Amino acid sequence: MPDANPLLFTPITVRGATARNRVVISPMCQYSAEDGIATEWHRVHLPNFARGGAGIVFTEATAVERIGRITHGDLGIWSDRHAEALRPVVAGIHGFGALAGLQLAHAGRKASTQRPWEGNSLLTDADAKRGDAPWQVVGPTTDPLQPSWPQVHALTVLEIKALCDAFAAGAQRALAAGFDIIEVHAAHGYLIHTFLSPLTNRRNDAYGGDRNGRMRFMLEIAEAVRREWPNDKPLFVRLSAIDNHPEGWQIEDSVVLAAELKARGVDVIAGLAADRSGRQHAVVAASAVARARFPGPLGGAHQT
């Protein structure tokens, strides 16, 4: 006989936060922010998922600095104004009985692009003329996402440290806005993923080289965010658990990283697979999560 009370619809508690069920609305870009500021779109769109019964509702990828956005329409949290604009969103989610999560993100070398309906590629002169000017993108090295794309600025050690501080400041603002959960975005070919993967991180300093060096940026961000995020609030990490390339990041690397993240106060890993370009596939890397003994399972509306 069917289970009268499926696990998906039972409550789950992580630290001091209890979700009414395990249905999680994953971060999904809306391209509707104004200079990173949440708009009426977000105030209606996100609480509607809570109204529909989801247990946890996440914002889209929310940039910790202006140049960390994928497009000009992405959410940001690099100032107190951004946090203030998110307060009504959180209130709406809470009003319908769900937990509110915010995903801290940096697009790295995949930033400075068009909204999907404008081409979903590099920003052009035509985009600049209507107010969407391109900006300098950053990464672990100068290697561009594609050969025809502009060169990337390779982050210096001081700039890396400043980005760790930016993630920590984002956590502070998320707390001020009332969020219950933070997720750090380390997947899909964005900045943190490019530090983790040997396909994209060819640095020869403390933030590159062997696996320990390539994990350093991710671990320092986790430590910085956890210091600012209250002990009773959960911390998630979204991870591309395998690069699907023989010379790339492997599931065994994810198991090691998961254990290190757990030791630094990370509670849940959303494990997915990505190809070399960072495009994601709907594959949950359950083995990495289970072998690191993280709580679960949680359901999810997969990000597109």
CB-facing half-sphere around the CA of 295: CA atoms within 13 A: 15
Residues 6 or more apart in contact with residue 141 via CB below 8 angstroms: 152, 154, 200, 201, 202, 203
> Which residue type sits at 103?
Q
Question: Rounded to a whole number, what is the largest CA-CA distance in the chain?
Answer: 62
Distances (CA, A) of 205 to 21, 68, 100, 136, 192: 44, 23, 38, 23, 16
Which positions are annotated as active-site residues? 190
- Residue 90 buriedness (CB in 10 A; 0-12 / 13-18 / 19+): buried
> Which residue type sits at 155?
L
- Containing H/E element for 267? none
Q: Map 52-102 to HEC letters.
A: CCCCEEEEEEEECCHHHCCCCCCCECCCHHHHHHHHHHHHHHHHCCCEEEE
Q: Answer yes or no: are the C-beta atoms of 97 and 109 closer than 8 Å.
A: no
CA distance 96 to 180: 14
